[in-house]
Chain A
Amino acid sequence: QSVLTQPPSASGTPGQRVTISCSGSSSNIGSHTVNWYQQLPGTAPKLLIYSNNQRPSGVPDRFSGSKSGTSASLAISGLQSEDEADYYCAAWDDSLNGVVFGGGTKLTVL
């Protein structure tokens, strides 16, 4: 019952493009920027996309983010085996006065 809604799973073959959606409300995504995190197995989450569509240094340009209204999405193009991970969206929420996360999407590279 996460505040932000993501599909629990996604998959693709190497080289394909996949997108992961994140749906929220006016108190979070509608009012604040969205950030995306990648969590590889057994590791801490890592900031992948910040401020809706910005990549930290070192993140390949295969990863891109967008936001419209109360929804956001993460796109991964040229899928690679090392992209297999859990992906989380996050936003500040005015009602909670804190951070809300999506439930996470497990990406499988077939």
Chain B
Amino acid sequence: EVQLVQSGAEVKKPGESLRISCKGSGYSFSSYWISWVRQMPGKGLEWMGRIDPSDSYTNYSPSFQGHVTISADRSISTAYLQWSSLKASDTAMYYCARHEGRYTSGLTWGQGTLVTVSS
């Protein structure tokens, strides 16, 4: 069974750094792109960017370029989303999702990681 298991909820202060993770299992991790999607409280889904774990190629939505970094470690089948300096506006649920094919929006989702940034 294909599964994406994300790390647990985080509570951080503005200016702090953070890395959350997404571990894939039940499939060949390198063979499928991973995207990250933000959902702010009470709002819709926003695509942040994606990574091809086979070569670590990334591309980002202009809305998130420069604010987050997406990476992956094929050896442990894990993708990451990280911030160097969090803001209160980063408070949201973050989902990782596996693309079912290249250049497709068909996604299998992780359970989500809630990030709360508050002083």
Contact = CB atoms under 8 A, between A and B. Distances in A.
A91 B105 contact: yes
Output the residue of B49, B62, B105, B107 with the most chain A CB within 10 A: B105
Kindly state the interface size class of chain A when it binds its partner. Answer: 20 to 34
B109 A101 contact: no
Interface string B85-114: 000000000010000100111111111100
B44 A101 contact: yes
Contact of A104 (B35, B44, B47, B50): B44
* Chain B interface helix/strand/loop/mixed: strand
A33 B106 CA distance: 9
7 contacts: A35-B104, A44-B95, A44-B109, A44-B110, A46-B109, A96-B61, A99-B37
Interface of B: 35, 37, 44-47, 49-50, 59-62, 95, 100, 103-112
Interface of A: 2, 32-35, 37, 44-47, 50-51, 86, 88, 90-92, 96-104
